[in-house]
A and B are shown apart, each in its own frame.
Chain A
């Protein structure tokens, strides 16, 4: 597994195929839209989806943290899918994971799902903020927007692009999207549908392809 280094707003950032973004200067890892416990929401409505998804998502997050040695984790919204995600299996799994990374500082910028699901349990020791956070460098928010000062890092769109080519081929892949003043991270969750975005000339797109990130 590798990473792709990019320059955004005069900062070096590493784009990880785990669908995360690492900021080496401050050893901060950022993810967006984990939607933990989405499968639990289904079960709560008597739809039999298997348990286990939360574990593998956390494993992927652990890999990203271990590889980078991050000291701080920022979650750009939609930590839990709904209030029904607050199911013992989901909560206990995350708590156990949290205890393994006891020294890690975790901040959550509230997203639309967080407002319904409620703030994370105290046991997770997360600092919860409402976005957009003040600059000067990164303006953190769940939804993409154009900040007056600084550069925004956001999520919410579950961004993906459609690639086309010879032989009438096409492919849809999750992607990082960086415009002049706003960047969008792909959804961390593997269990969400993606929204196809249409970037403009001059904007940068990096697609996530299994085990590497590729510039388009």
Chain B
């Protein structure tokens, strides 16, 4: 064994490095043919841990002469060993960097390996080559991997594959792209039972599950349970969480979205450090903060930048490049900079707004402090007072090892249906065998026969609803083998492979041609010529929308609308909310044990005076009236998603006592029901407003009133191919095929109620959006404790963040006519013709 590792160790010594013990462990496991998951909160050493094993294995079996330097790239390519390693990365933006990092040992060890990337950015020439022959190592994304599997010669392309490495598995794991990856891996494992799969991941609570989602549950041929190793990476760095404390909390907004009051302190931090990353939670905030920082420090122009997923790729690459070379003082970014190679120059990390979870905060802290012995710290910038409580709680949770799980998805049928068409294109399949194959993945281990039959029917005959339609032509049965023959279907499928959701995005471009980034169609639709908005830190004037592009020119002045991009934000985790409750207990007792809690003391005192600070077993309900109407504020402290569900449930149950229409708002601390008249709270409480019985029925009923299932269906409709966004060539879908997923949902409900995609929407709402089991836990907790109803004169500190929340849903038990009678139509002023 050790002699197989010799070349690697020698190479390390040449560079004056010493392998970490965990790296040796991984290499040995790899050489023994094992699979596994490598986890740690920071980046150090994970890449080489996974990469060098395959190199050592290859060296052990073949020692050809290194390629001569004069050898041209074409002949190098032709002489290179066939595909050995597939390296999967979640972001195509990272592919180039990854390939570069992997190239270094290849060059220095003198191996004739070629490494290429294959993503949405890959050139047509490279793609064309890769269609017949893949390089020795291919760096790709889940979508591009699916596209390769959709080729008729897929099995041949992957014939020599030895290993798959999946980077940032924690990012992919709990998403539909992760499921897509699982299905792809199941396919590759069926072709190669000896395939070794290695994952690189951040820390999380449920590592064993993470391992099984990666390596699968059973072997295709033998049915044996797959085994793998969990190996912990380097843990020597210290992590710490700190906050910027506002000077006077009473004057600090109790609500409000941006935290800009702390701008002077943020700027002081940037000044005191060489390179600072400022993480915000939304793209909109990133644009805003960038503008504000620049307004305060004009001389920093060119030294500060922004980075988010809707910026033009060229801009993002430039920022990453400058960051790597230590030439930027500050980058304001979203989670777009969470992944990827570490930036050694970064010595300070700020987090604006709620951290949402302990693991996330740890990961961000890990982006700083790369000098040996340095602590990795993240400094939190609260956007409202209660976020200080979150930081205090996060610190406590980290100390106690309370780190979030990542919940994998259970058999999402839309991804399965998409995969069936992919395999239909990629050589075709025999139904029984493919059923067995997908069941070796963790996500579909529990796929029932009738669910499989439904999915098969969906792609072949269109299902029961299309009985009188013999012309349906998607996947067809050719003598027991299911294939796709229809060229249009093939084209549309290739265009729409991808399970990432989002509104249609439009390219923003200068009239003179330079590209800036993307904005959502819904934002663009509201722009009139002359309107100003900000993107990529520049103020732009909208000229026109033409051929799916937004044409702009540079505008004078410093202000413009900042676009909003949709994108669900994470709820606070259980781990964090638990820790928060404990901290609130301490506040009740007058104990303020850290800087954050001390700063919050005046706010807690006001809350105590006007209302109460609830104990961990107490559900506080505040009742108040404002000009807007009658408010109910309810604080279960169970995370935003649970609160959305509880709000719908509560509104529904209240509505059974009297016809009433509520708009609801929810955040991580509680939810609000607002109505023009007072709600029948006491009658409903007596009737079991928070009872656990009938929970599922009531939730499903209130689901029909709420639009949640329809919203969830948007994504499912796209993945399953019911909604087509783009035609080949990038043109917009013709008007012929335009239908909102909401309409399709209605049609399916009326004419195909047994459609499993509808059931999936409802189930996903229950599990993902409402976190049903978490919701049930919340109700059980409420049932076991006390309920305190407090009539308050005006909204309290706890209520404020809800009060200003603009994202509201409606739940009603009134007739449509009654509702209309209470609403008004606002007329435009008569303009001069």
Contact = CB atoms under 8 A, between A and B. Distances in A.
A48 B460 CA distance: 10
Contacts of A192: 739, 743
A199 B469 contact: no
A169 B661 contact: yes
Contacts of A53: 747, 750-751
A167 B675 contact: yes
Contacts of B721: 46-47
A137 B267 CA distance: 70
Interface stretch (B31-39, B49-57, B425-433, B814-822): B814-822
Given A167-B629, A191-B743, A46 B489 contact: yes
A84 B472 CA distance: 13
B463 interface: yes
Interface in A98-120: none
Contacts of A164: 823-824, 826
Given A43-B466, A51-B751, A166-B822, A214 B724 contact: no
A167 B661 contact: yes
Nearest to A88: B468
A171 B820 contact: yes
A206 to B, nearest CB: 11
Nearest to A199: B827
Given A43-B469, A46-B489, A205 B825 contact: yes
A5 interface: no
B628 A168 contact: yes
Contacts of A149: none
Contact of A48 (B465, B661, B819): B465
A161 B819 CA distance: 15
Contacts of B489: 46
A48 B466 contact: yes
Contacts, number: 148
B732 to A, nearest CB: 14
Interface string A42-65: 111111111111001000000000
A81 B736 contact: yes
A46 B462 CA distance: 8
A50 to B, nearest CB: 3
A169 B816 contact: no
A152 B489 CA distance: 43
Given A166-B628, A169-B810, A169-B819, A48 B472 contact: yes
Contacts of A39: 747
Given A45-B737, A198-B828, A169 B823 contact: yes
A174 to B, nearest CB: 12
Contacts of B724: 45, 47
Interface string B648-669: 0000000000000111000000
A48 B721 CA distance: 9
B751 A52 contact: yes
Contact of A201 (B663, B740, B819, B829): B829
Interface size grouping (class) on chain A: 35 or more
B492 interface: yes
A201 B830 CA distance: 6
B731 to A, nearest CB: 15
B738 A167 contact: no
B466 A167 contact: no
A94 interface: no
A82 B505 CA distance: 27
Interface string A172-194: 01000000000000000011110
Given A43-B472, A48-B465, A38 B819 contact: no
A44 B473 CA distance: 8
A193 B737 contact: no
B828 A209 contact: no
Nearest to A175: B825
Contacts of B831: 200
Interface string A154-170: 00000001011111111
B747 A50 contact: yes
B474 interface: yes
B819 A89 contact: no
A210 interface: yes
Interface string B423-465: 0000000000000000000000000000000000010001101
B25 interface: no
A91 interface: no
A91 to B, nearest CB: 13
Name the residue in A166, A200, A201, A207 with the highest tally of chain B Cβ atoms < 10 Å from its Cβ: A166
A141 interface: no
B492 to A, nearest CB: 7
A165 B468 CA distance: 46
B817 A202 contact: no
B472 A46 contact: yes
Contacts of A87: 469, 471
Name the residue in A163, A169, A209 with the highest tally of chain B Cβ atoms < 10 Å from its Cβ: A169
A50 B824 contact: no
Contacts of B808: 168
Contacts of B462: 43, 48
B830 A49 contact: no
B630 to A, nearest CB: 8
A39 B74 CA distance: 51
A41 B755 CA distance: 20
B629 A166 contact: yes
A14 B305 CA distance: 62
B474 to A, nearest CB: 4
A202 B486 CA distance: 54
B744 interface: yes
B739 A167 contact: no
A199 to B, nearest CB: 6
Contacts of A171: 819-820, 823
Name the residue in A164, A168, A214 with the highest tally of chain B Cβ atoms < 10 Å from its Cβ: A168
A212 interface: yes
B450 to A, nearest CB: 18
Given A48-B466, A200-B830, A168 B663 contact: yes
Given A47-B724, A168-B663, A205-B825, A214 B492 contact: no
Nearest to B457: A48
A148 interface: no
Interface in B634-690: 661-663, 674-676
Given A47-B724, A48-B463, 10 more contacts: A43-B469, A47-B737, A51-B466, A163-B823, A167-B674, A168-B628, A192-B739, A200-B828, A200-B831, A209-B816
Interface of A: 38-39, 41-53, 56, 81-82, 84, 87, 89, 161, 163-171, 173, 190-193, 198-203, 205, 207, 209-210, 212, 214, 216
24 contacts: A45-B724, A46-B472, A47-B724, A48-B458, A48-B465, A48-B466, A48-B722, A49-B748, A50-B465, A51-B468, A163-B823, A164-B824, A167-B663, A167-B675, A168-B808, A169-B663, A169-B819, A169-B822, A191-B747, A193-B739, A199-B825, A200-B827, A203-B827, A210-B817
Interface of B: 458, 462-463, 465-469, 471-474, 486, 488-489, 492, 628-629, 661-663, 674-676, 721-722, 724, 736-740, 743-744, 746-748, 750-752, 755, 808, 810, 816-817, 819-831
